[in-house]
Chain A
Amino acid sequence: GAGVSQSPRYKVAKRGQDVALRCDPISGHVSLFWYQQALGQGPEFLTYFQNEAQLDKSGLPSDRFFAERPEGSVSTLKIQRTQQEDSAVYLCASSSRTSWDEQFFGPGTRLTVL
C-alpha cells in the first residue's frame, strides 16, 4: 500500500515569506508526527497529533510555526515569516494506533530560506 507522502519535496522561500508543507499519512493511521532535521543531525520532534487533536507541540521552535490536522488525516505545517535558520528537512511520520507504535516516515520536504 501507499506510504507516507509529503509535498512539495523541495521548497525555496525568500526570508519573510510564509510556507505550507503538506503530509499525507498512511491511510487509517491515527498518530501523526512532524520532525525537523538539520544538515548532519538526527531529526528533532516538532509536534504530535492523535486524530485531529494536537496533543504535543512542545518541539515547535517559535510561534511562527503552526500545524494542523483538521479532519484527522492530512496535516499541514505552516511557517510564517521564514528565517534562514528555518532551512532544514521537514519529516512527517505516522503510526497506526498509539504514539508508541512503529513510526513510518515520508520522504521529507527540504526547505531552503534565502
Chain B
Amino acid sequence: KQEVTQIPAALSVPEGENLVLNCSFTDSAIYNLQWFRQDPGKGLTSLLLIQSSQREQTSGRLNASLDKSSGRSTLYIAASQPGDSATYLCAANTGANSKLTFGKGITLSVRP
C-alpha cells in the first residue's frame, strides 16, 4: 500500500527566501507524482506533474524533482512571496487502481 509523507507539517519563512518542500513515498512503482496548492476553504490547484520517466519539471518560480529509486520528490520555490502562503500537497499515482495517494500537506506561511 502506497504511503506518502510530508514533513514538516508547517513552515514559516521570511519573504524572498528560497525554500524546499519535501515529499516521500513508499512504493517506487509510480506512474507520476503531482504537486498541488490548496488555499483555505478551496479546492486543489495543480502546480506541477512529473511523469515517472522525468527527473524534474519547472513552472515559473517552481521546480519539482523526482527520484523514484529513493522515493522522494521536492518542490523548490524561488524568491518566496506572501502570496505563496498556502498548503502544498504532493500525491503519487501508482496507477494500479488509478488513485492519487496524498500526503497530509505542508502549510507554508511567508512573512512580509
List chain A positions with a Cβ less than 8 A from chain B: 4, 31, 33, 35, 40-45, 48, 55-56, 58-59, 91, 93, 99-100, 102-108, 110
Least Cβ distance of A100 to chain B in Å? 4
Task: Say whether B102 contacts A91, CB under 8 Å.
Answer: no
Give Cα distance in the complex from A41 to B38, angstroms.
12
Question: Which residues 73-112 of B sit at the A interface, judged by CB distance below 8 A?
Answer: 89, 91, 93, 95, 97-105
List chain B positions with a Cβ less than 8 A from chain A: 4, 31-32, 34, 36, 41-46, 49, 89, 91, 93, 95, 97-105
Q: Which residues of A contact B43 (CB under 8 A)?
A: 4, 91, 105-108
Q: Which residues of B contact A4 (CB under 8 A)?
A: 43
Give Cα distance in the complex from A105 to B44, angstroms.
6
Least Cβ distance of A44 to chain B in Å? 7
19 A-B pairs within 8 Å (CB atoms) are namely A42-B103, A43-B91, A43-B100, A45-B97, A48-B97, A48-B99, A55-B98, A56-B97, A56-B99, A59-B99, A99-B98, A100-B32, A102-B46, A104-B46, A105-B36, A105-B43, A105-B44, A107-B42, A108-B43
